Structure 1
Amino acid sequence: MAYTKDDPRSALEAPRGGAGPKADGAIAAPEFLDFTVLPPDVVSAGGSEQWIVRGQNFVLIYTEPTAGDLIWKSSLQSEQVLLLIDENSAISGASDGETHDVTGPALVVVPPGESAITSTGSGPIVSLVQSDEAEWAAKASNAASYATPHPHVAPLEPWPEPVGGYKWRTYQMSDVPADPKRFGRIFRTRAFMVNFMEAKSGPRDLTAMSPHFHDDFEQASLVVAGTYIHHIQTPWGTDGTKWRPEDHAQVGSPSVTIIPPPTVHTSQAIGWRTNHLIDIFAGPRHDFSARPGWVLNADEYPSPAE
């Protein structure tokens, strides 16, 4: 773990050392899913384009919508998380017999059951669902990568139910004041943790990188603006036939990079204009949750220890 002194993550407890749920299993390769070069998996009759990818515990649907188009209608056994990326992202959602209108940037939690989402704007919308929603997991363009579960990734164990029960919840990014002592803008549900980080201008300082690793969970890095290089190093084991070279993969926006444990990784913004990255985890992280004030909706979604 290597963080600069002014990085809030420097106060985190160090990982155990890469001893995931099955440390003798093969370490998965990272996946770089750049939607600027991959064709959409779905194009609706109204012209909306969708890319569907997955990790071990989640499915991510990235939508570039046509205003007025129905982009989602389905029934789920678990909560769904929606990310309205910018001020042009807007939805009208029907759930539990009620209609909810939201303009981004925002994070929305949709309760289990039947729901329908219409895009009322032209900005991107991201949907996160659990991978045990088998219908959606099967639609992922990289579904074959998870035909066999990755041994270093812990199974999803949902956290306690939300205070007040399941309901539509909206978190506007404009309501979150800046705080240099907090790392990003972190929200969690029973199954997800999302760091809806703020956009930044210009390239990252190459002398202030943050290489680190996770013991037993994947990280999905969603780039929604700018250009990044994801630097990823796979640890060497005793079997040299399974060694792989370092990755220094450049991706555009939008793109999703799946970073497997226990690879050492850090992301470098290189675009000279706006760069914006959102980190996604399934399930919630215990280390981030243990930091006072970091999880902005902790009063609604308790941790297992509470």
Structure 2
Amino acid sequence: MIPYKKLLAVIDPTQQDQKALSRALEIAEKNHASVTALLTIYDISYEMTGMLSIEEREILRQSVLNSRSEWLEELIAERFAGSEVAMKVVWHNRPYESIIHEVIEGHYDLVVKGTHQHNILKSVIFTPTDWHLIRKSPSAVLLVKEHEWPQGGQILAAVNQGTEDEAHRDLNQRIAATAKAFGSSLKADIHLVNAFPATPVNIAIEIPEFDPHDYNQSVRSYHNTTMQEFAKVSGIAEQNCHVEEGMPEDVIPTMAKKLDAELVIIGTVGRTGISAALIGNTAEHIIDALDCDVLTIKPHDFRSPLQPK
């Protein structure tokens, strides 16, 4: 059974085709879960009208909220007739904050949001809502693209088997368990992928007797062994384990394309501050390189910076 019972689907006000809501309802139908459609709207012109009083501006904002609520209600009635969907329309100038506040207040365990490939320059300077969500949402986040979810498909779960860190080990287990739950629901095959780094060039230069081939084989053997042990404990077929040399942002999209995966599941610990704004997470690079849905999972003890202390 998929471990999500309360889903929050993010509505795109510029689109009639709401792929996030479609995917949320697909999951809910298989899992007897509830779905709420959240639409965040904001128009700065209503805040900057100096000729109006605070009360008059509030009336105008409420008028816009009512209008968009009617639009959302009509859209759901037309495109999702017969589906049980709760609706919420909020006024907020930062969509990601409104989404996360709703997750916290409503105790949602999965956010479902449509996404697309972002312009590289904007991804660096102007952090998209997607990036804020995968860094700061306390719940899992499913970013939906255009790939269908047929029965008997492929699910790829990315794990890090080269770590002794307990938090990462726990995250690996959560990723594998979630992959199995989705696999059972979708009658899909589960694959595990683990990327390990190439031999450091500086070591080969600085230490003449260093043998990069032996080192690389030793590292690969270690990752293969730990992956097989993990797969056995997790109940995942050994032949569906993939250990590849390279960076995760290269290995994972390549493997997903090779398998024609419908869903890729990755863990993210979240990042904040300058490094997150300028560099971005490995997860973010992976998401932009994938043509399928991506489910990002946090450690069990993750705490959002937007959660009250």
TM-score, reference length from structure 2:
0.27
TM-score, reference length from structure 1:
0.27
Which of the two has greater strand per residue?
A: 1
Q: Which has the higher contact order (CA 8 A, sep 6+)?
A: 1
Which of the two has greater helix per residue?
A: 2
